[in-house]
A and B are shown apart, each in its own frame.
Chain A
Amino acid sequence: MQALTFKRGVHPPDGKALSAEQPIKVILPKENSELFFPMSQHIGAPCEPLVAIGDYVKVGQKIAESPAFMSSPIFSSISGEVVDIRPMLVPGGNMVKSIVIKNDAKMVEVEGLNQTHDYTQMSNEEILNCIKNAGVVGLGGAGFPTHVKLNPPKDQKIDYILINAAECEPYLTCDYRLMLEEPERIVKGLQIMLKLHPDAKGVIGIEMNKPKAIETMTKACEGISNITVQPLVTKFPQGSEKHLIYSITKREVKSGALPASAGCIVDNVDTVVAIERALFRGRPLMRRIMTITGGAVKNPGNYKIRIGMTMRDIVEQIGGFKEENPPAKLIAGGPMMGPTLFTLDVATVKTSSGLLCFTAEEAFIPEERNCIRCAKCVDHCPMGLMPFMLNQFAIRGDGENFVKHHGLDCIECGSCSFECPAKRQLAQSIRATKKIEAGKKAAAAAKARAEAEAAKAKS
């Protein structure tokens, strides 16, 4: 089958060889280690704790939830005592109120776990509820609650359910290992999603640099008429939702719209496995697969971790850093879009897909030079923006022109900074200005709403 792709984009060195051939290893938290469960792990309303200090909690017990629709409950991944509820650092850099549980290493499971559901006999609502009550969110990056994504507005007909297995971020190999090791679970999970949207086609998009994964998944899909495997050209950001949709369906998601508006639902492979676990095995989201890699790690590989472990615990358990080449930079996720960490004392959350530990050499930041207008950023921007110009607006603080020239449509993929021969921090300046302008926009909208309500109240 011909490999599909999108326009523009970049080809960063992929760095996957470090960990690609390492089978997924399960690591369990040590006895008496503390696990942290932040109340806000992704997009959506923050949760409120259901437990108090001193309570004994079991594996799989719901420890926090929110009544809001756009939210997802949180489950304990271990058994032990709740020792504190206090702010803890999460990968994005925020301090978030977290439940702290001291692991007793007994792994006592809560009653009612491991109940299998026969999804073919369930209504759509029951399936969605089951997914919501298992705390499933998008495990690829943003952590969009999966039950919300699978339940788009009624007027938006879903034609495609796309499984994002592009894994275009360099260094990360967790999705790749999952496809090699648990292909039938991915297929089963996708079948559950297709039950919700019976007219949709299931397509698993995999980049061409993973031929073994394409082969394994094709084999696993044999004989299933509504699921196909689609090879994709190896190019960053192939795994960006909008670009994956374009590559496979040639549909463009309009500026500011969600994939459902283009008749598509996109989910990461690990998310699909989480759906499968929720229905077939009655287990909520408590573990995820993480790639721990980079030149400073002794044993780079793919690890099935318990969500809530700190990065420090995980690194210690897998053998630590190289003494002769210690890490100079820590990145939560991939090197193109992952935020840096200033300490290892960070809680893992549902969306933690990787920890990248760069040596001083790998972490080298080149000096910024004058823009030479070479247009490489324009030629490579997957959104068709003019990054060098947005960079100028950002530096000048010209928010009006920034918005006029579509600065808010930037997906922050970093392709521009990657390509820039003058080594300018294009993506960084655009992201900062985006935050300022998006804030202004939200404030203006809130003000308009308040004024409209005030006017209504008067009349």
Chain B
Amino acid sequence: MKMDKFIVSGTPHVRSKDSIQGIMRDVLIGLTPAALMGIYVFGLNALVIMVLSIASAMFFEYLYQKLMKKPITVTDLSAAVTGLLLAMNMPASAPYWMPIVGSAFAIIIAKQLFGGLGQNFINPALAARAFLLASYPTAMTTWPAPTGVDAVTVATPLALLKAGEITTATSGDMMNALVGTVGGCIGETSAIALIIGGVYLIVRHVISWRIPVVYIATVFILTALIGRNGVRIPQYEIFVGGLMLGAFFMATDYASSPVTPLGQIIMALGCGLLTTLIRIFGGYPEGVSYSILIMNLCVPLIDRFTEPKIFGALEVKKS
């Protein structure tokens, strides 16, 4: 039989233009407004932390893959996303070695040791943040004041809420929380920038609305219901702390969130519940990171029990 030189392959023969790199680039674009606000609010130190964190995350990914003789996939930008997210979860006053140590933990321990991209069962950036918080609690909870304010350090709005020092949200407080001129991590303070970035990701179909919307709504409703000794200002509480950053960019991490639509909603409800409980009753003022990490661990279980009904499913009668 005569064989011509034609390519033979499985179907389909056309592919979408989406790529992992494209998705990661979109996430970086989505994070840009909040990153810029971080620099604006906390000064150039924030930029240095971010650059160090991204560069070291990419370096450790390269190094690990090189040493393990695996294909080098640094250009897919996933390490850059992890690095940027980690930096945005640190105070701008952190010493310069800290983002490097954090990135090493995130990339090598949380991501590569479990199989690399897509195989990590928890969010690498959050795992690194939890590691840093446990190891260097002082450096990780010293909040530099927004530039232009005459103080070296400030308390975060959530700490003030916990201490009962904020009981009403004035329009000035609301404005500060939206713009980001409050104490906190580099990338978490500007709610408006995070919402813009998050909406961009939803519009680009990088993430679904389910996790961020349900997560934030759950925190809003529960905070309103439970209250802090009678103080009920959920409209303020959802804009402060790491909720916006967590809901749009951390809880939606593909590898560590459910794939089923119902599963995503369950994960978001769980995150919202845990965040509210930690914020109001816990020892820490903020609970976004831990609640997402805890829900990350539930993801395999959630996926298992929320498998969608197939088209043309035979009705199974349960007796």
Q: Taking beta carbons and an 8 Å cutoff, which residues of A are in contact with B?
A: 7, 10, 12-13, 15, 89, 170, 242-243, 246, 252-257, 327-331, 335-345, 356, 358, 363, 365-366, 369-376, 378-379, 382-386, 388, 405-406, 409, 412, 414, 417-423, 425, 427-428, 431
Contacts and interface: CB of A to CB of B under 8 A. Distances in A.
Given A89-B1, A388-B259, 7 more contacts: A255-B310, A341-B6, A365-B7, A372-B20, A372-B255, A384-B308, A405-B307
A337 B12 contact: yes
B118 interface: yes
Given A329-B6, A383-B311, A383-B312, A419 B14 contact: no
B10 A428 contact: yes
A431 B312 CA distance: 19
A417 B118 CA distance: 17
B12 A375 contact: no
Most chain B C-beta atoms within 10 Å of own C-beta, residue among A252, A372, A385, A425: A372
B3 interface: yes
A382 B11 contact: no
Contact of B4 (A344, A414, A427): A344
Contacts of A242: 311-312
A324 B282 CA distance: 71
Interface string B281-318: 00000000000000000000000000111111110000
B312 A417 contact: no
A340 B257 CA distance: 37
A153 B117 CA distance: 52
A29 B260 CA distance: 53
A442 to B, nearest CB: 19
Interface of B: 1-4, 6-16, 18-20, 22-23, 73, 76, 78, 115-119, 208, 254-255, 257, 259-261, 307-314
Contacts of A254: 312-314
A363 B11 contact: no
Nearest to A340: B8
A330 B6 contact: yes
Nearest to A254: B312
**Residue from A365, A406, A421 having most chain B Cβ neighbours under 10 A:** A421
Contact of A425 (B10, B19, B22): B10
B24 to A, nearest CB: 9
A437 B101 CA distance: 49
Contacts of A375: 254, 259-260
Given A342-B3, A345-B2, A363-B7, A370 B12 contact: no
Contacts of B116: 370
Contacts of A343: 1-4, 6
Given A335-B13, A421-B18, A421-B19, A372 B254 contact: yes
Given A254-B312, A340-B9, A428-B11, A370 B2 contact: no
Nearest to B19: A421
Nearest to B11: A414
A371 B260 contact: no
Contacts of A327: 6
A363 B11 CA distance: 11
A335 B14 contact: yes
